[in-house]
Structure 1
Amino acid sequence: MSQISVAIAGAGLSGLCLAHSLLRAGFDVQVYESDPEPFARRQGYRVTLDEYGMAGLQKCLPPRLFELFLATTSPTDEDSYFRVTNQDLGEVFKLTFKGDRSGTDLRTPRQTDRQTLRTIMLEGLQDRIHYGKKAVRADTAADGATLHFSDGSYTHASLVIGADGVNSALRKQLLPDCDPEDANSWGIYGRTPLLHNGQSIVPAPLKTSGVYAIGKAGKGFFFTTMNFREAPQAAFSRFGAEQLPPISDDYVMWALLLPKELFPVSQEKLDSEILHRFALETALDFHPVLRRFVNLADTDCTMLVKLKAARKPSSWPVSRITLMGDAVHVMPPTGSHGGNTALRDAALLAEKLKAAVSRGKPLEEAIASYQTEMSQYAFREVEAAKAMLKRFSIHNPFMSWVMLRAMPWIRSLKNKPLTTTE
């Protein structure tokens, strides 16, 4: 397998996950990242991992790094919930996820900090990641493919993997008719320290919940808490990691979602400070608890996300170049399946490649099988995420009254308010 070289465009979660798996199997792996350094820009905060995402990590990462990942996820000893409420935190419905006191059941969803997970996956790959290398195209040849970069340089490999995100240049080349469609919603993401004056800013009934509050005019407010099972500094030290954890304290991740036409100016002018001011204005429509998250936020951690949804290719030619993650199946965050699907891709592609090489089969056979299988599960998730986003945007007046007035009132007759401090 050492004779098989793999060039991965993109050092995000899926690219790094794949790199670990192939490197452990003996492939010659190099990763090329367009950013000038590992954390040149923010790419999100808390990520919810389900059984597919965790299975992908377990299959691909060295055991020590997988255990470090588990140590820095959220605790699982209590039940957790996903709640949908009105803008005043009146509950419409909730989904319950049973806790796992042992912390060993990998079917139990858990939260992880995106930057912390990415730092863990950089471990052991430092000399194989090349920064400031923006992929612009790839050319196929009889013995592989050549990946070209914006600085005029290039590299040749047996395989080229496009894990270069939603604006993937390789997708535009391979699947020119599959540019993602605009979901017509933009998000403002933010991060707020969990403790203020020594007290949690999240009401006790919501400490293990993810909450989506449906507002007026297509607006929505999501938040959840990122609690670390073990302090990242202690965990990184205990596992002998060379990297330093990028964050140390628990926090609240929040997001305001609203139709893009409600934004006051063009995207180019929306820096963190302007975005935060706009978030403060928009949050005035929501419960004081939610407004407080925005008021106490780290202003420079405020970021803009334009929601997009991938188009499924009607045909996908098989070659020595393929795609994974957001490069091929970007989806709205509703449902929290984007990151999980990307990690699932990494495990599947690694499995197909290793099996083909061990049996002496052509690499194209592995690529064909991967593309077929991945397309089946990935685009189901894209459609589910689109449908959930649509359901959260209620336009029918009667349904709006039922969902956001009648149902919360009925539930309040038998349940304590979610904002109680008890």
Structure 2
Amino acid sequence: MTTTPRIAIVGGGPAGLMCARVLQRHGIEAAVYDADTAVDSRDPGGTLDLHADSGQIALEDAGLMDAFLALARLEGQAKTRRDQHGTVLAAFTPAGDDQAAPEIDRGQLRTMLYEHLEPGTVRWGHKLVHVAPLGGGAHRLEFADGHQREADLVIGADGAWSRIRPLLTDAAPRYLGVQFLDARFDAVDTRHPEVAAIVGDGHMFSTDGAGRAVIVQRNSNGVVRGYVAFRAALDWAVTAGVDVADHEAVRAHLVREFSGWAEVMRPLITDNDGDYVARSFWALPAPLTWDRVPGVTLLGDAAHLMAPFGGHGTNLALLDGAELAHAIKHAVKKESSLEDAVARYEAEMFPRSGELAAGSNTALARFFATTSADAPHLPPDHQQEHDNYRARAAEYRRRRAAGDR
């Protein structure tokens, strides 16, 4: 290319911020547009693990591994699986130097990425309402406040309900049949010692084999986030006559729904601080591909929304952002075709994300199985998972050094 392309990234989550950061490291500017009013204007959710073979590769490309490790919790990689009676079925304790998949709060990750961008890169309070093709791959973005921007490349990093995705595919998220109520426990070690004992340093997963589960995760600053989950229709609250904004009504419903669970597990379901936040699981068809449309592509959940089992969503989003930025860099520096570069990015992203998305969606279905024939016989081997992350990371670096990346 003879000129630097005008690049607009829609979405200021991990994928969009990572892409902008890596582009800037190579002297290429991009504007990021996000509907949020500030980086911390809403609850970003709980904790996540960044894998050595994906999320951490992207952080290395962004020059942010030291910043990440300063916030990350290596001990948070610990995992315990219990049944509904509280019996430990399996436990994993990471070695003290294990960095295969450290935990970090979602809000901390987003803020870290944002703070390492040049001032003014992110335009907060810009809600996209329309995208108009202009021909030749160019598009005009129109925002709710009347602002308009023309771009040679529009990167959709705008999540599950992406407004950019319809330019590429008719695919839409489908409901996976599982609801969960997000709860939190503050100052857990002093106010909720029974919860602290059950969750330990990392995660605790429990399911009863009848479509009900509890997942609790230790976050930073003495907080535990909990997820009380169950198979249900989207309108379960209406059918059950429960006002999800009424804390006591939700609690009473859960006590009935989880009546077969042991007393030792009950605080995870009933003793949370503040309200329950109702959420639901959705996913795009997997694997998902599309034909090239000049001037448009997708990152992260906009491209491959999947069930959050296996922790691949944010990791792939970060890697997508870094890989696309590298493809753009090569196009700009070598004066080659931007379209060819984006096509190469998509050709590598499709199989990588498709396999993991399909596996994650299957894992969710099995975890919330309602018959023993569908349920997994054993919990995952987390040590093997960590070994696999490290092996794939080494192979990735080998291919990069050989010039195959």
1:75 alignment counterpart: 74
Do the aligned residues in 1 keep the contact of 2:288 with 2:354 (CA within 8 Å)?
no
Alignment of 1:207-286 (within 5 A): 207-215=200-208, 217-227=210-220, 249-261=221-233, 263-265=236-238, 270-271=244-245, 273=247, 277=251, 281=255, 282=257, 285-286=260-261
Question: What is the rounded CA distance, in whole Å, between the counterparts of 2:162 and 2:246 in structure 1?
Answer: 25
Query: Alignment partner of 2:325: what SS?
Result: helix
1:241 alignment counterpart: none
Do the aligned residues in 2 keep the contact of 1:318 with 1:367 (CA within 8 Å)?
no
2:341 alignment counterpart: 366
Among 315, 318, 323, which residue is 2:298 paired with? 323
User: Could you list the per-position Cα deviations for residues 39-73 of structure 1 after superposition, in whole angstroms to 9, with x for gaps in the alignment?
Assistant: 3332311111111112212212x44xx42321111
User: Could you list the per-position Cα deviations for residues 214-236 of structure 1 after superposition, in whole angstroms to 9, with x for gaps in the alignment?
Assistant: 12531111112224xxxxxxxxx
The alpha carbon displacement at 1:38 in A equals 2.5
Amino acid at match of 2:205: Y
2:158 alignment counterpart: 164
Amino acid at match of 1:7: A
Among 134, 142, 151, which residue is 2:136 paired with? 142
Amino acid at match of 2:200: K
The alpha carbon displacement at 1:146 in A equals 2.0
2:89 alignment counterpart: 92
Give the direction of change, closer, same or farther, for the CA distance of 1:290–1:133 in structure 2 (3 Å limit). Answer: farther
Question: What is the rounded CA distance, in whole Å, between the counterparts of 1:293 and 1:219 in structure 2?
Answer: 13
Do the aligned residues in 2 keep the contact of 1:162 with 1:322 (CA within 8 Å)?
yes
Of 37-46 and 351-360, the range deviating more from structure 2: 37-46
Question: What is the rounded CA distance, in whole Å, between the counterparts of 2:184 and 2:176 in structure 1?
Answer: 23
The alpha carbon displacement at 1:205 in A equals 7.5
User: Could you list the per-position Cα deviations for residues 102-145 of structure 1 after superposition, in whole angstroms to 9, with x for gaps in the alignment?
Assistant: xxx64x21110011111111214442211221223432533633
Which blocks of at least 5 consecutive residues in structure 2 are unaligned?
Answer: 380-405
Question: What is the rounded CA distance, in whole Å, between the counterparts of 1:274 and 1:158 in structure 2?
Answer: 52
1:392 alignment counterpart: 367
The alpha carbon displacement at 1:92 in A equals 3.4
2:401 alignment counterpart: none
Identical aligned residues as a percent: 26
Query: Alignment partner of 1:58: what SS?
Result: helix
2:357 alignment counterpart: 382
Give the direction of change, closer, same or farther, for the CA distance of 1:120–1:289 in structure 2 (3 Å limit). Answer: farther
Of 131-140 and 359-368, the range deviating more from structure 2: 131-140
User: Could you list the per-position Cα deviations for residues 133-180 of structure 1 after superposition, in whole angstroms to 9, with x for gaps in the alignment?
Assistant: 12234325336332222344320122111001100011123212x102
Do the aligned residues in 2 keep the contact of 1:92 with 1:403 (CA within 8 Å)?
no
1:110 alignment counterpart: 102
Of 157-166 and 289-298, the range deviating more from structure 2: 289-298
Question: What is the rounded CA distance, in whole Å, between the counterparts of 1:399 and 1:376 in structure 2?
Answer: 26
The alpha carbon displacement at 1:268 in A equals 12
Amino acid at match of 2:32: V
1:23 alignment counterpart: 24
Of 47-56 and 216-225, the range deviating more from structure 2: 216-225
Which blocks of at least 5 consecutive residues in structure 1 are unaligned?
Answer: 228-248, 408-422
The alpha carbon displacement at 1:348 in A equals 1.0
The alpha carbon displacement at 1:377 in A equals 0.8
Question: What is the rounded CA distance, in whole Å, between the counterparts of 1:13 and 1:357 in structure 2?
Answer: 23
TM-score normalized with structure 1 length: 0.78
Do the aligned residues in 2 keep the contact of 1:186 with 1:260 (CA within 8 Å)?
yes
Matched, 1:6 2:7: yes
